[in-house]
Amino acid sequence: MALYCGHENHLNKKGRMGTKLWISASEGKENVVKELTGKCGLPYAAALYLAAHGITPDQVDSYFNDSFSALTDPYRFPGMELAVRRLWQAIRNRERILIHGDYDTDGITATSLLSWVLEKNGAIVSSFLPHRFDDGYGFTPESLAKALDAVPSECKVLVTVDCGINSGPAVMEAAARGIDVIITDHHEPDGEKLPALAVINPKLNPELEDMRQLSGVGVAFKLAHAFIKFGRENNLGGYGVEIQDALDFVALGTVADIVPLLGENRLLVKYGMETLSKQLRPGIRALIESAHIGPHLTPSDITFKLAPRINAAGRLGNAQSALELLNASNIVEAYRFANMLEGFNQKRQAKEQEIFSEAKCLVESDAAFKSKMTITAAGEGWHQGVIGIVASRFARDYNRPAIVLTIQGDEAHGSGRSIEGLNLIDILSKCSHLLTRYGGHPMAVGLGLKKDRIGEFTEEFEKQVRSQIGPSDIVDSVSYDGEIELAALNDEFFEIYPHLGPFGHGNPQPAFRLNRLEVIRTFPIKSGHTKGILRDPNGEVTDFIAFNMTIPVRTTWDVIAIPRINEYYGEKKRQLQIVDAKASS
């Protein structure tokens, strides 16, 4: 389809409707909406969505019609040509290349992608993923020694993916062993100069601002893309794979790492979802079948079904089993590893619920809890592999930055999750005098400290957060793209709807405010939910569904809702998924 001229759903979990602050993201952008509908010929609801997300009329054509070839040139990264020259030299000299990854979905997919591209072009490759409990996070002198001990022959080139940017001691140790190190990472650098052959990280270079939000697998993809281009342009090879076929890895890792699906990421995931849906790899096919996903794969399937299974291997077992799944050469082998991941995921879910329940009791028993801006919970022996998920649940359910710590002996290890607009790395930098380590992203961090400093850290964490945000910033709110009538959700809008995606973090599904909708009928549905038919003042009707809300018949509501087409036994009907509702005044 060609066009001329481009808040995440937080349901009210306790069933209380209308308690959130409603915020219009298109307010003050009426002139942009007018241009998008007039100059670009877009339907009103689509124009509201694009204006709310900062898309101007001159960007619409590229937003809808950019092809795969519109991806940014990977050679914009300083050091990229030096890195790919060395990789081709290693292939020519039959030198072993070692890839050092990480144990989450981003790191595992980056490892699998790069090893696949290199091996298909004649490289001798070994891969290493650290064990969460035995090795800890990142590229360290210990993980380097362990990785080198496991390879069957001498290694001369080492590539890190999704780690390494703050690993000075490990890089120095590798250099002392005569190994050329290529760092590919997307984490925040601490400013230390690394004695590496090349350091490829968009956060190092201001001129790469448009690629700053790449995931670890996104940066690894850039290296793979440059490698193939260099091989073909210099008659060295590069014909062993089509780079588009690596985009299934990129879609998995990018969506799983919760980076914004905007700009380069949106393009990578858009085409990555197409590759993922083809199920070119036995491991991808087995994983999708194990997760019981239907024929229409979406980014939310990655978030809630595929990534948790891949992550579960690193959380409870050894991430190697997830890597083996992605690398599986036949479907029988793939099913075996998919079944392993399924078992890990079920155990992860049970442990997560157990710890969350215990931590919630601790947090809510604090008399000062309601007046606090932060959440910090610590428990003896909590499973280190799931505390990050528990922190995510706290941050989501209470709309406050959250740190969850597991105490092991005299040490405490933790994970933190932030809320929109608060940089958790910046906050921890101001608490660093109390920490033994910290790192990560603005929205997700890892940290360590001595057990006897937990109380002091809790106070300092609260103090530093209060210095940056106020009580109004943690009021539960829901953002919507603008106010419409039901007639705006017409066939023209739903024709464009799929092209607004892929939807995910930073690029959520369209959500609109609709006023004075009367509930004219409801149907039996699972307790606590409501399904039925709505009618607006103009007589337009639509189906609706409201999860975790009880909406009585013959009442009139203002709602924020996500429009969608519900297909049931071949019949397609317009439906509103209600996010929040208030009784009409």
Q: Tell me if 307 is assigned to some domain.
A: no
CATH number at residue 401: 3.10.310.30
Taking CA atoms, 359 is separated from 376, 406, 491, 514, in Å, by: 9, 11, 48, 38
Which band of pLDDT confidence, cut at 50, 70 and 90, is reported for residue 16?
low
Amino acid 31: pLDDT: 96
| pLDDT of 7 over the 80 cut | no
User: Is there a single domain that holds both residue 231 and residue 148?
Assistant: yes
Amino acid 18: pLDDT: 63
Judge whether 564 and 573 are in contact, CB under 8 Å: no
Q: How many domains, the chain?
A: 3
CATH number at residue 550: 2.40.50.460
Q: Tell me if 167 is assigned to some domain.
A: yes
User: Is there a single domain that holds both residue 532 and residue 463?
Assistant: no
> Which of 241, 260, 293 is the last residue before a domain boundary?
241
Amino acid 5: pLDDT: 44
Q: Tell me if 151 is assigned to some domain.
A: yes
User: Is there a single domain that holds both residue 119 and residue 213?
Assistant: yes
Q: Tell me if 468 is assigned to some domain.
A: yes
Is beta strand 375-380 parallel, antiparallel or unpaired with respect to 402-408?
parallel
User: Is there a single domain that holds both residue 424 and residue 572?
Assistant: no
| pLDDT of 524 over the 90 cut | no
| pLDDT of 17 over the 80 cut | no
**Average pLDDT taken over every residue of the chain:** 93
Which band of pLDDT confidence, cut at 50, 70 and 90, is reported for residue 132?
confident
| pLDDT of 2 over the 50 cut | no
User: Is there a single domain that holds both residue 453 and residue 512?
Assistant: no
User: Is there a single domain that holds both residue 377 and residue 517?
Assistant: no
User: Is there a single domain that holds both residue 91 and residue 221?
Assistant: yes
User: Is there a single domain that holds both residue 394 and residue 522?
Assistant: no
* Portion of the chain with pLDDT greater than 70, in percent: 97
Placement of tokens 């919970």 in the chain: 377
143 CB-near residues (< 8 Å, 6+ apart): 100, 128, 130, 135, 136, 170
Is beta strand 530-535 parallel, antiparallel or unpaired with respect to 512-523?
antiparallel
- Rounded Cα–Cα distance for residues 548 and 529 (Å): 5
User: Is there a single domain that holds both residue 488 and residue 559?
Assistant: yes
More confident residue, 188 or 377: 377
Encode pLDDT of 233-253 as tens digits: 999 999 999 999 999 999 999
> Which of 187, 219, 241 is the last residue before a domain boundary?
241
Encode pLDDT of 68-86 as tens digits: 999 999 999 999 999 999 9
User: Is there a single domain that holds both residue 142 and residue 226?
Assistant: yes
Tokens of 492: 């023209």
Please give the helix or strand (H or E) that residue 96 lies within, else none.
strand 96-100
| pLDDT of 8 over the 50 cut | no
Which of 129-143, 297-311, 497-511 has the least mean pLDDT?
A: 129-143
Position 176, amino acid: A
Encode pLDDT of 115-128 as tens digits: 999 999 999 999 99
User: Is there a single domain that holds both residue 112 and residue 223?
Assistant: yes
Judge whether 576 and 534 are in contact, CB under 8 Å: yes
Judge whether 381 and 405 are in contact, CB under 8 Å: no
CATH number at residue 123: 3.90.1640.30
Rounded to an integer, the average pLDDT of 359-388 is: 94
CA nearest neighbour of 121 among 199, 247, 234? 234
- Rounded Cα–Cα distance for residues 216 and 229 (Å): 20
> Which of 219, 241, 263 is the last residue before a domain boundary?
241
| pLDDT of 6 over the 50 cut | no
| pLDDT of 302 over the 80 cut | yes
User: Is there a single domain that holds both residue 138 and residue 25?
Assistant: no
Judge whether 215 and 187 are in contact, CB under 8 Å: no
Amino acid 554: pLDDT: 87
Q: Tell me if 216 is assigned to some domain.
A: yes
Q: Tell me if 571 is assigned to some domain.
A: yes
Range of the structural domain that residue 526 is part of: 21-53+481-583
Count the neighbouring beta carbons within 10 Å of the beta carbon of residue 31.
9
